[in-house]
Structure 1
Amino acid sequence: MVALNSTEMAERLLELAVERGAIRYGDFTLSSGKKSSYYFDGRLLSLDPEGAHLIGNALLPLLADAGVSAVGGPTLGADPIVTAAAMASWQQGAPLPAFIVRKEAKGHGMTQMIEGPVPEGASVAIVDDTCTTGGSLFHAIGAAEEAGCTVGLVLALLDRNEGGSDAIRERGYRFETLLTAGEDGRIRPA
């Protein structure tokens, strides 16, 4: 296997998205309620062996640059992404624990919103497969901050450029993405 730089990983991730049918065109209603002429299914990438490898390794330089000590995000989109990043970080000798933010706190046991080993007071990255309005990312940011963490970075595999990333930046968070969509729905490496 040939080592790829960040740009090459994002380009290969886009190729893989097309190969695996993770990008589809048609008439779709997104989880935000917005209508779209295309749909990006990040799980078709993050649950694919090559896709998970590319995602984990493409995120590592961004996570290292932000100096975070854990990576997490909203279930279900972030589950395989944070696992890929945690595994890649361990393989590179700089392990970062992963965590998942529930949609709502458990009604039993510890009644937790966050699952996973989050170091108390940690600077963390919040990641999701897509960013449209930013709603899922803001939910995860709020849960992490409520748990005493500082959010040092917010990431998405795909920024749909529909206001979410701007809202995240306006609230003072650093936002990064691997792929970005134009107004025409054309997706390209960020």
Structure 2
Amino acid sequence: MSASTLSQEKVAFIEAAIEHGVLLFGEFTLKSGRKSPYFFNAGLLYTGSLLSSTSKAYAKILTSSRIPEFDVLFGPAYKGIALAAITAVDLSRQGKEVGFAYNRKEKKDHGEGGVLVGAPLKGRIVIIDDVLTRGTAIREAIEILKTQSEAKLVGIVQLVDRQEKGQSSEGKSTVQEVEEEFGVPVEPILNLQDIISYLESKGTYENELKAVKEYRKQYGIEA
């Protein structure tokens, strides 16, 4: 993908993420132990304007990608909770009413009790989350859905696809592994190539671009 093919929405989202420190460049240790030259911190999406841009991006993916029709958005604790909630609001403004649910990390033994909150997990479910690094959190969320007899997972939407090799020895990415394992599409708002294309287009991120490309050469999947 060349820089010129990036949509205006993606450019605006990347620039807002950089401006507010959500997309950072430097040296960061990931859960996998890899040293990454960039990091996307969804926990810093805490202003109204950033949340609005994020919800619009999620809503667009949900209505213009491989994700089929769905009934409920499920946001895994913790970051997925807010992401799914704001997306449900944005979809409602567009005339599409869907349910929103999330899980607790610890079971509640008073009040309504249980680990699930929000809409009943029935019908077609889409999981909303931030970044699939090793796929652990997504697999945990899918296990929760399996406990609900009337729930059917139909897709996953994430903020960023790092396009890195996963846990298998076949050179597949975590996203490819999850798609193959569970038979559902995984759609990102951004992927690593989008970020590289943006850096190339600006011409002022030579060092960052070099570091990201070297990282991709070591850990990235083949295009």
**Normalising TM by the smaller chain, what interval?**
0.7 to 0.9
1:70 and 2:72 aligned: yes
Count of residues paired in the alignment: 179
What are the superposed Cα offsets for residues 127-164 of structure 1, whole Å, 9 maximum, x if unpaired? 11111111111111221232231111111101112222
Distance (Å, rounded) in 2 between the aligned partners of 1:55 and 1:66: 20
Would you say the 8 A contact 1:63–1:153 is kept in 2?
no
Question: Would you say 1:168 and 2:167 are equivalent positions?
Answer: no
> Comparing both chains, which one has the higher relative contact order based on Cα–Cα distances under 8 Å and sequence gaps of 6 or more?
2
The amino acid across from 2:77 in the alignment is: T
Alignment identity in percent?
26
Map of 2:105 onto structure 1: 103
Large movers: runs of 4+ above 6 Å = none
Match for residue 203 of structure 2? none
Deviation at 1:33, TM superposition (A): 4.4
Instruction: Assess if the C-alpha contact under 8 Å between 1:43 and 1:129 holds in 2.
Output: no
Map of 1:134 onto structure 2:
135
Shift of 1:85: 0.6
| Contact 2:75 2:82 survives alignment (8 Å) | no
- The answer to whether the aligner puts 1:28 opposite 2:47 as a matched pair is no
Structure 2 counterparts to residues 1-190 of structure 1, below 5 A: 7-45=7-45, 47-64=46-63, 65-106=67-108, 111-120=113-122, 122-148=123-149, 149-162=151-164, 163=166, 164-171=174-181, 172-182=183-193, 184=213
CA drift of 1:20 comes to 0.4
Tell me the SS of whatever aligns to 2:96: coil
Give the helix-richer structure, 1 or 2. Answer: 2
C-alpha distance 143-127 of structure 1, shift in aligned 2 (>3 A): same
Change (3 A) 1:99 1:26: same
Whole-Å Cα distance in 1 between the matches of residues 24 and 31 of structure 2? 16
**Cα distance between partner residues in 1 of 2:177 and 2:113:** 30
State the one-letter code of the partner of 2:131. Answer: T
Change (3 A) 1:31 1:118: farther
CA distance in 1, matches of 2:141, 2:25: 29
C-alpha spacing 1:181/1:94, structure 2 compared with 1 (3 Å):
same
Moved more, 55-64 or 173-182: 55-64
Q: Structure 2: which 5+ residue stretches go unaligned?
A: 1-5, 167-173, 194-211, 217-223
RMSD value, Cα: 2.4
The runs of 5 or more residues in structure 1 that have no matched partner are 1-5
Listed one character per residue, the Cα deviations across residues 53-75 of structure 1 (whole Å, up to 9, x for unaligned) are 22222222433452011111211
Counterparts in 2 of 1:113 and 1:54: CA distance versus 1, 3 Å? same
Offset of residue 119 of structure 1: 4.4
Task: Compute the TM-score of the two structures, normalised by the length of structure 2.
Answer: 0.71
Distance 1:31 1:101, change over 3 A: farther
Q: Is the 8 A contact 2:31 2:133 kept in 1?
A: no
The offset of 1:124, in angstroms, is 0.8
